[in-house]
């Protein structure tokens, strides 16, 4: 089921939390929202789930508009809000039953669905407790269980792994991946590794605008542009090496990494690589090339670069 967000704008007073963003998410896609705090991730999610009405623009989920058929849209979506609010005075089973009823699951199926959710979310040992008695991690699982109970076509998770221990995080990620094969999933996080591990597609939002959109590899490439190499050469005077490197056609910029050793950071010209030229240079001059490492642009760097200014 596709989600279509068209020119979405949401203002809080005069401040634009989300500023004219448009994107589409296809079935079987896991989209990760990244962005600094207050970038508009949560607001966008709240708009898709019909909690907040946008000031401008429209959102369609499976062809239904959030303006004309909010009830139908809500029925299609499983939503785990930020901070995972729950009716803490209720028991786990009672709570899941309540949500199942609200989602119009036929009475005969409710029990079966609850049993399945308890199994999937690992709540077996805790199911007879009150929600307020559960630890944060288990509460998070209850939150996930209520989002999944009606087998939704679209799953929207606002920071789904917050408060979980590392084992649980791995489990939840696997679960999201599995669900993501057939369903449409949008999740938000500010843990970059998590988004990289779970999502097919990453969207970075900053100040209410989309600043990057693509797979993690694409984003890296986009930010990389220029190749950066770390090179160490022995068997020659470092100033001589410095000059020789500078004279290579493909090299844009050379810098000493430290004053004592002959290590350099070499930046190539756009769309060019200097690896072969550097190697050839060493062969010609009879120098020893002891290190040649391409520096990878990390997703953290991409994120910082895109959201800082």
Partner 1 sequence: MRQIWIITKRELRSFFDSLMAYIMIVLFLGFSGFFTWLSGSDIFFVGQASLQTFFGVSFWTLFFFIPALTMKLLAEENKTGTIELLLTKPVSDWQVIVAKFLATFLLILITLLLTLPYYITVANIGPVDHGAVIMGYLGLLLMSAAYISIGLFASSITSNQIVAFLLSLAIGILFHLIFGFISNVFSGIAGEVLSYLSMAEHFSSISRGVVDSKDIVYFLSVILLGLFASEAILAKRNTI
Binding site for partner 1 (CB under 8 A): 12-13, 46, 49-53, 70-72, 74-75, 77, 79, 81, 83, 85-90, 94, 98-99, 101-104, 146
Q: What is the CA radius of gyration of the chain?
A: 25
Largest CA distance in the chain: 82
For the bound state, the minimum distance from the C-beta of residue 252 to partner 1, rounded and expressed in Å, comes to: 51
For the bound state, the minimum distance from the C-beta of residue 270 to partner 1, rounded and expressed in Å, comes to: 46
Helix (H, G, I), strand (E, B) or coil at 32: strand
Nearer to partner 1 (CB atom), residue 53 or residue 257: 53
Nearer to partner 1 (CB atom), residue 48 or residue 179: 48
**Whole-angstrom distance, CA of residue 174 vs CA of residue 17:** 32
Q: Helix H segments across the chain?
A: 41-48, 70-76, 92-102, 107-120, 136-148, 166-180, 192-198, 216-224, 238-247, 275-285, 299-308
For the bound state, the minimum distance from the C-beta of residue 60 to partner 1, rounded and expressed in Å, comes to: 17
For the bound state, the minimum distance from the C-beta of residue 118 to partner 1, rounded and expressed in Å, comes to: 19
Nearer to partner 1 (CB atom), residue 60 or residue 201: 60
Nearer to partner 1 (CB atom), residue 15 or residue 181: 15
Nearer to partner 1 (CB atom), residue 90 or residue 277: 90
For the bound state, the minimum distance from the C-beta of residue 51 to partner 1, rounded and expressed in Å, comes to: 5
**Whole-angstrom distance, CA of residue 152 vs CA of residue 22:** 23
**In the beta sheet, which residues pair with residue 187?**
32, 157
Phi, psi of 220 (to 5 degrees): -60, -50
> Are 85 and 132 within 8 A, CB to CB?
no
């Amino acid at each position: 089921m596709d989600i279509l967000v068209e020119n979405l704008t949401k203002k809080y007073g005069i401040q634009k939390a989300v500023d004219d963003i448009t994107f589409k998410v296809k079935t079987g896609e896991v989209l990760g929202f990244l962005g600094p705090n207050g970038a508009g991730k949560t607001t966008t999610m709240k708009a898709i789930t019909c909690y907040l009405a946008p000031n401008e623009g429209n959102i369609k989920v499976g062809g239904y508009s959030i303006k004309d058929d909010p009830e139908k849209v809500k029925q299609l979506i499983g939503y785990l809000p930020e901070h995972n609010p729950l009716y803490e005075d209720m028991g786990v089973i009672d709570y899941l039953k309540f949500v199942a009823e609200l989602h119009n699951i036929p009475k005969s199926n409710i029990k079966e669905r609850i049993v399945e959710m308890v199994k999937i979310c690992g709540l077996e040992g805790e199911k007879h407790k009150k929600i307020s008695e559960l630890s944060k991690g288990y509460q998070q699982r209850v939150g996930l269980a209520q989002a999944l109970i009606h087998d939704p076509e679209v799953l929207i998770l606002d920071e789904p792994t917050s408060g979980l221990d590392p084992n649980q995080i791995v489990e939840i990620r696997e679960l999201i991946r599995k669900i993501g094969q057939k369903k449409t999933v949008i999740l938000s996080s500010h843990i970059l590794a998590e988004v990289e591990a779970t999502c097919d597609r990453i969207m970075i939002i900053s100040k209410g605008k989309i600043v990057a959109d693509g797979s993690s590899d694409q984003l890296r490439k986009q930010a990389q542009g220029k190749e950066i190499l770390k090179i160490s050469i022995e068997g020659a005077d470092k100033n001589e090496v410095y000059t020789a490197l500078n004279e290579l056609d493909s090299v844009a910029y050379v810098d000493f990494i430290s004053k004592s050793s002959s290590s350099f950071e070499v930046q190539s010209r756009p769309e060019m690589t200097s690896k072969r030229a550097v190697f050839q240079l060493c062969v010609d001059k009879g120098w020893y090339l002891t290190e040649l490492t391409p520096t990878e642009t990390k997703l953290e760097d991409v994120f910082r670069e895109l959201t800082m200014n």
